[in-house]
Each structure stands twice: as C-alpha cells, then as structure tokens.
Amino acid sequence: MVQKTDKIWFDGKLVPWDEANVHVLTHTLHYGVGVFEGIRAYKTVDGRSAVYRLKEHVKRLFDSARIMEMKVPHSEEDIVKAIVETLQANQLAEAYIRPLMFIGDGVMGVHPGKNPIRTIVATWFWGAYLGEEALKKGIRIKTSTFTRHHVNVMMTKAKACGNYVNSVLAKMEAVADGYDEALMLDTSGYVSECTGENIFLVRNGVIKTPPLTSILAGITRESMIKLARELGYEVVEERFTRDELYSADEAFLTGTAAELTPIREVDRRRIGKGEAGPVALHLQKEYFKIVTGDNAAHADWLHYYTV
C-alpha cells in the first residue's frame, strides 16, 4: 500500500491528500494519454536530503509530454520547485516522487480537443521496489508472452501512461507464475527490458545492455553505464538474445524504483551461481554511495533540499 502523506501538489497548489481528486470523465482515465516520472530522494551521509538527478527526470517528463503533444502550462523550473515544495510539505527526508501530467475532463472521444492538461506531484516513502532481500540475493524473472512495443506502435521514448498496460499484463503474468518480474522481448525477438526496469548481463567481465532502440532511456541505466566505465568495466550497448542471457555469468536490473537489483534466475535457469554476482554487488555498492552523497565525483547528480 502507498504510505499516505499530508499533501499533493495539484495544478500549482498543495492540497490535502484526500482532496486530490479528478472527475470520472477525465480523458486520460479513458484513453491513457498521460506522462509521468519516478524519482527518488535519499538521506545523504552528511544528514541532508537530496533528490537524485532531479533536473534530468523533469526534462524527460517534458520530453515525454512533447512527444505526446501535450501542451503543459508549467515550466521545467516550476516542476522542480513543486517537487521540492511537496517533499518539504510532507517532511520527507527520503521519498519516492511521482509527477504526473494528464488530460483532464471536457470533451469525450479519442481526440482530447482543448481539455486542460493537469499536473500533480505526489511523494511518499517507498522502500526497495522488489524487496530488501532482492537487493541482496537477486530475483527470479521469466520471459513474458507479451512483446514489448514496436517503435511505430507506441512512442517508446515517452514514459507514457498507456504504454504501461503492456507492463501491467506482463507483470501480472509473471507474478501469477511465481516469478518476481517479467523479461520482455522486442518485436524481433531480442531482449528489450523488463516491465519497469532496464536489463544488463555480465559475461567474461564485459557488461552488456540493449541499445536505445525500442527501450525507454533509463536515467538509472545511463548512470550505471557511466559508473561502470569509471570503475574500469567494459560496457557494450548491443542486442542480445535470451539464450545469451541464460548463459551469462551475472545479470541485473536498473531503475529508479528497482535501483540495482541482481537477477539469480531466468526461465528456471540459474544465472551464474544462482545468486547476486560480484559485479552487480560492486556496482550496487558504488551506486548507493553516489545517491547518498558519499561520492563527490557525482555531486552534480544530487539536488539538495531541507526538511
């Protein structure tokens, strides 16, 4: 369950959580055209709090809105300020942050006409997305029967609400079959991503991840690639098949919610030793140093605020 907080920022004003409501004829509720982000704030080693890569997330939010032809009545700076304001109003030193832009009520039918574009920012405490044990021991995933979107079917570079119907179906299928997460292939049969995370494998010391073809350009993905290269690992962005994943020494997922989650099993096949591997754990350790301000080399990735 989402942990309820006091306030949600809604169209420029902080309102009580229970009053952040919309009409049942809200266009996005019916047709799925909306965009959102998932962002995290961490308590840092010096006692302050910081939002991780806030400006990059807000830029992607606006890029998604542009792709979806949504004319947002706010600037990127407005949303950056709104996020900090909401964190402070809820007195959250650590938090998950969900900004959402959606089409309000007015006309019905597929074309949204001049319906207003509405914006909310919600914040709450959210621990490890796939569980604390998952971060330490790794998770089990299965290849979904649902294929990831083709680039001419949906706008795959937009973090759009409707895109996630695909993810919801795949996730429910995986969980019903006893797995933690679903692996999704692209329309050519190559490994794409998971329902809300990017995927990496490690083989013979080389880290590999799918290229930015049909996948969402993950901000944590980008961070991990930079970090791995700084730590001396070779990182390759190229297509690979699921049987290459089966024979990998290690595999892991990255995402704002998932952070860096190791994979111990894919489709009943043990990956490596069937546990979190040394490369994944090394990167995970260094990643947590960055998000908590314990690595000065990436201080520019943190947006500090006071509670």
The residues carrying an active-site annotation are 159
Residue 66 vs residues 34, 39, 80, 110, 230: alpha-carbon distances, Å? 11, 20, 18, 18, 33
Cβ-defined contacts of 231-237 (< 8 Å, 24+): 231/282, 231/283, 231/286, 233/205, 233/206, 233/207, 233/279, 234/205, 234/206, 234/207, 235/206, 235/207, 235/208, 235/209, 236/206, 236/207, 236/208, 236/209, 237/208, 237/209, 237/210, 237/211, 237/212
Q: Do 194 and 182 contact (CB within 8 A), yes or no? A: yes
Q: Count the neighbouring beta carbons within 10 Å of the beta carbon of residue 100.
A: 16
